[in-house]
Structure 1
């Protein structure tokens, strides 16, 4: 029986897009491949077992997922003696692995557009760390799993020699994201007014997420319509004050509501009650919030570049992320044209239903089997 080791340490107490991807991968794989043995590297802070499948064992690894011991010393932390294949699930490939490696690359912004990632002194350190690990993944992985065609194309453009080793494993959206009855008590609990319609933006505050562009597009659309708010759900940090200063300069400070990370149940209610999700990123490997919003029946306005047109599949309004007027036109259409909004809700639900985690897991399993067959 061949053994596949999957790094699951992104699954932890804090919500994570990559953690969601890995969680759904390991939920599907063991049942699909009872002839394989899976070793899951687990974050000790996870708190619970990741799988109860009989062909799964779990090893706690205290080393941080994105740290020096993972990048340069994982083979000293983990015993690979009986492992036939390793799956690195979060962009970087550890050094000196004694077995073939599949690396999931979500995006290559650290290589192509590092200014879109974290800035400042910490950003400088992370730029060198991640670019080192991603370059190794592109150069040395036996196979690369890209979570969208857009990411696969970006990898091929950056490193043509990696194109034939790059496979598209399109991410999915969990059935947990679904239409729910609006609960206005949720808004009250967040300090929001239930009687005020709102546009929703969800995601960490990083340059590539373009939250400044969301503010500018919202202001362009609704500066003279004081009854509409913009709600941003994000992990608020030291730089959040910049958004508040921009909102003030745009004359919308009293209508921009910042909400810290919320529970999934609260997020479902926000998707249910929002007029639209506004997601004007400059780049996404996939873009979990747009898939989640569609699955909840929330109309989506997103960017006309990177993976976002691919993920929404014609079920959203697209706008250039650096064009506030285009963003404003899309938002205004949804708010003012109920037929257009209803069409987006319907087509969004249909598109989300196509984004199946089973298909994602099957695509990864096909990569595993191909590599394992070459070793036999």
Structure 2
């Protein structure tokens, strides 16, 4: 058997977000597969120096719109995939699935946020954006099999797209301990952070609930010594909204916005933080909570979507709409060292259950199943 693995998210803006982290981890872990796997890339570069896979560069339009992208997927991509001689094509870009023409197709199912939060995605959206989301749904429906990154995500695809559950396998992403290896908490790489702080890592779109988190912090700011560090690259519109909320809540001197941070710096902040706070309304997997646990950082997260599934008993969980409960969670974790130690210990045990080796082994089983080799 021969597999073509779509690694093109590593050549796009996805590379610094959850999709990119997933693809990077999977590509690294599959390097020792018992059968040939070819990376499909937009560049010649391998995903990492330690990866030994064959790389095939697929030409794409430099800046394709949705309609040109669709034509490329329908007319050019099948030939690119067939040229690898593969039996199975695994698409990791939701927009980049090609209909199987002599090979089976698998797509990674991340989430269906645009169907759960249609106003956020469709209000004011361009025709191309709307078409792209519809094409993504069609791509998922026509795949021979899906790999969902959580049980919650699998339920979403069954409920919202009507995909039979037997066509979906759940394979959890892993956590790479080397990426955020525990070390000295003081090594914050020159980032000017307060001595005591809560940490958030991610974007600021409405489902992330940053405004609710800041409102909760405003309720307890006089009762806790922590400030808040909001890490992550924000588009201009989101940055404007966040700074507006900070000003309106009187948090100007208690919130730090360092922007995008490379992994060594991010790991240092996880290790130094009082707690990682992630009260999201909706996630496909919620990788940052594993990153925090892997760095011995206590976690406060949400009771919604996949987050209780991933966190298990290793986090304080609150409903994202309950601002007072979130404020109380911030206060309790700040004041209670015993609780923080308990969360650190449980987090260490929890994160050990998620490995890229396990992810790779289960992904290989899906490849064999779809190829009819079970």
The answer as to whether partners of 2:2 and 2:87 remain within 8 angstroms in 1 is yes
Higher mean C-alpha deviation, range 272-281 or range 244-253:
244-253
How big is the shift at 1:52? Answer: 6.1
How big is the shift at 1:184? Answer: 5.1
How big is the shift at 1:126? Answer: 2.8
Paired with 1:213 and 1:361, the residues of 2 have a C-alpha distance of 37
Count of matched residue positions in the alignment of Structure 1 and Structure 2: 363
Query: Structure 1 residues 338, 214: closer, same or farther in 2, change over 3 A?
Result: same
The answer as to whether partners of 1:197 and 1:229 remain within 8 angstroms in 2 is yes
The answer as to whether partners of 2:26 and 2:356 remain within 8 angstroms in 1 is yes
* 2:135 aligns with one of 132, 135, 139: 132
Paired with 1:292 and 1:117, the residues of 2 have a C-alpha distance of 27
Counterpart in 2 of 1:371?
A: 370
Counterpart in 1 of 2:175?
A: 173
Q: Aligned-residue CA RMSD in angstroms?
A: 2.4
The answer as to whether partners of 1:8 and 1:42 remain within 8 angstroms in 2 is yes
Counterpart in 1 of 2:230?
A: 232
SS of the residue corresponding to residue 311 of structure 1 reads: helix
Counterpart in 2 of 1:293?
A: 292
Paired with 1:65 and 1:288, the residues of 2 have a C-alpha distance of 29
Higher mean C-alpha deviation, range 91-100 or range 20-29:
91-100
The answer as to whether partners of 1:235 and 1:261 remain within 8 angstroms in 2 is yes
SS of the residue corresponding to residue 11 of structure 1 reads: helix
Query: Structure 1 residues 165, 291: closer, same or farther in 2, change over 3 A?
Result: same
Counterpart in 1 of 2:324?
A: 325
The answer as to whether partners of 1:71 and 1:94 remain within 8 angstroms in 2 is no
1:59 counterpart = 2:56: yes
1:219 counterpart = 2:223: no
The answer as to whether partners of 1:280 and 1:321 remain within 8 angstroms in 2 is yes
The answer as to whether partners of 1:92 and 1:134 remain within 8 angstroms in 2 is no
1:154-178: CA deviation from partner (whole Å, max 9, x where unpaired): 1111234421101101111111223
Paired with 1:342 and 1:53, the residues of 2 have a C-alpha distance of 37
The answer as to whether partners of 2:2 and 2:36 remain within 8 angstroms in 1 is yes
The answer as to whether partners of 1:111 and 1:131 remain within 8 angstroms in 2 is no
Equivalence map 1:148-297=2 (5 Å): 148-175=150-177, 176-183=179-186, 186=189, 189-193=190-194, 196-222=195-221, 224-225=222-223, 227-239=225-237, 240-297=239-296
How big is the shift at 1:85? Answer: 1.0
The two structures have a TM-score, normalised by structure 1, of: 0.89
Query: Structure 1 residues 79, 159: closer, same or farther in 2, change over 3 A?
Result: closer
Paired with 2:42 and 2:210, the residues of 1 have a C-alpha distance of 31
Counterpart in 2 of 1:76?
A: 76
How big is the shift at 1:96? Answer: 3.6
* 2:106 aligns with one of 98, 102, 110: 102
Query: Structure 1 residues 303, 350: closer, same or farther in 2, change over 3 A?
Result: same
